[in-house]
């Protein structure tokens, strides 16, 4: 059977496969239970992020620049996990490991775009906290709704363009040997290494991409919290320090949950077992979207109060409806 379709491009004949094969985890017993576990985390993520988005939409007090970024983070988490987990179930639970060439590139595009936006969104939230604590008197002027919407729009545009470049460069590659992608999804690095023509531009992109979407945002976030720490050290009142620190706890938790597993993976890239890499990255793709709404609900006073108010309103409406039905 011929698995490849030659596609002419000027004087160069590109060899594009009809499909790729996603290998996933190898030699692991009861592996299907792991994917069921990921699906349960995905369901919690959908419920949690949907609840956070609903609360922000329904409560006018939460329509501030900070919660514009929180809403966008919940949206990105929802889109990212929805792009990844259902496809994982299709590939590994239903044993459909073959994925068409075009579908693989689309899969890659959505996964990488959402991954990038998670990082950029945490960067936007850290900038918001930086202005709120270091320049409290000028915060309302500097951090307007318009500015936050513009910042998020720029980050979306940057994320989409970066991933489009990566996908576009993959389309110039020929695949005339292995079709097996040694990952749990259509991973850019694993795909371009299968090519039998020069993939140097793809290698350059794979080196630049982590710097732009991982190291630069992380460096800015760490520097912003160093600045915040220095500012809080100058504040005389202990209560004011604690109050300011509490506003940062939720964001710092999100940063740790998102960046630490990726930091471990990138640091140990050469020494980590392929199965360990796949498990680490797949959990990183699902755990933060599931934990983010829980952290914001438990550690953010405004959202807790809004949830209590909404639940109380629903209870009263249900009781009023019950009384009316009883009377009639």
Range of the domain at 187: 14-327
Report pLDDT digits (tens) over 9-28.
444 567 889 999 998 887 77
Q: At CB < 8 A and 24+ separation, what contacts does 265-270 make?
A: 266/210, 266/214
Q: Classify residue 79: in a domain, yes or no.
A: yes
Q: Classify residue 6: in a domain, yes or no.
A: no
| Angle between helices 65-88 and 145-170 in degrees, nearest 10 | 30
Q: What is the mean pLDDT of residues 56-71?
A: 88
The structure's pTM equals 0.87
Q: What is the mean pLDDT of residues 129-144?
A: 87
Report pLDDT digits (tens) over 248-307.
887 888 898 889 888 877 766 666 777 887 888 888 888 889 988 888 776 677 777 787
Model confidence band, residue 1 (pLDDT cutoffs 50, 70, 90): very low
Mean pLDDT (the chain, rounded) = 85
Q: Are 41 and 286 in contact (CB under 8 A)?
A: yes
Question: Which residues sit opposite 12 in a β-bridge?
Answer: 9
The CATH number covering residue 306 comes to: 1.20.1070.10
Q: Classify residue 211: in a domain, yes or no.
A: yes
Model confidence band, residue 326 (pLDDT cutoffs 50, 70, 90): low
Report pLDDT digits (tens) over 209-263.
999 999 999 999 999 999 988 888 876 577 777 777 777 887 888 898 889 888 8
Q: Classify residue 5: in a domain, yes or no.
A: no
Whether pLDDT at 61 is above 90: no
Separation between Cα atoms, residue 28 and residue 44, nearest integer Å = 25
Q: Are strands 4-9 and 19-22 parallel, antiparallel or unpaired?
A: unpaired
140, 145, 147, 150: CA torsion to nearest 10: 170
* Beta strands, E only, 123-226: 180-181
Q: Classify residue 268: in a domain, yes or no.
A: yes
- Sequence-distant (6+) residues with CB within 8 A of 304 are 297, 298
- Sequence-distant (6+) residues with CB within 8 A of 295 are 250, 253, 254, 257
The count of structural domains within the chain is 1
Q: Classify residue 8: in a domain, yes or no.
A: no
Q: Note the pLDDT of residue 296.
A: 74
């Amino acid at each position: 059977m011929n698995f490849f379709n030659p596609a002419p491009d000027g004087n160069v004949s590109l060899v594009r496969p009809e499909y790729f094969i996603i290998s996933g985890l190898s030699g692991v017993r009861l592996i299907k239970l792991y994917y069921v576990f990921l699906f349960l985390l995905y369901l919690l993520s959908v419920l949690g992020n949907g609840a956070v988005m609903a609360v922000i939409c329904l409560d006018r007090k939460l329509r501030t620049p900070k919660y514009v970024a929180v809403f966008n983070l919940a949206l990105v988490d929802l889109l990212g996990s929805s792009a990844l987990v259902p496809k994982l179930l299709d590939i590994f639970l239903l044993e459909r490991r073959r994925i068409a060439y075009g579908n693989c590139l689309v899969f890659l595009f959505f996964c990488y775009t959402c991954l990038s936006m998670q990082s950029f969104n945490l960067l936007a939230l850290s900038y918001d906290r930086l202005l709120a604590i270091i320049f409290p008197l000028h915060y309302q002027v500097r951090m307007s709704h318009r500015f936050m919407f513009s910042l998020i729009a720029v980050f979306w545009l940057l994320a989409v363009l970066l991933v489009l470049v990566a996908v576009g460069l993959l389309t110039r590659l020929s695949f005339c040997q292995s079709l097996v992608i040694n990952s749990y999804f259509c991973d850019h690095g694993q795909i371009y290494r299968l090519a039998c023509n020069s993939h140097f531009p793809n290698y350059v992109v794979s080196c630049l991409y982590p710097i732009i979407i991982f190291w630069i945002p992380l460096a800015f976030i760490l520097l912003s919290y160093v600045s915040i720490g220095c500012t809080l050290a100058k504040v005389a009142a202990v209560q004011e320090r604690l109050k300011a620190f509490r506003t940062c706890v939720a964001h710092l938790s999100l940063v740790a949950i998102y960046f630490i597993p990726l930091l471990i993976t990138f640091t140990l890239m050469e020494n980590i077992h392929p199965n360990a890499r796949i498990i680490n990255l797949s959990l990183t793709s699902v755990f933060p979207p599931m934990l983010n709404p829980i952290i914001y609900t438990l550690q953010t006073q405004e959202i807790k109060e809004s949830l209590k108010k909404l639940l109380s309103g629903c209870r009263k409406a249900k009781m009023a409806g019950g009384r009316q039905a009883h009377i009639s």
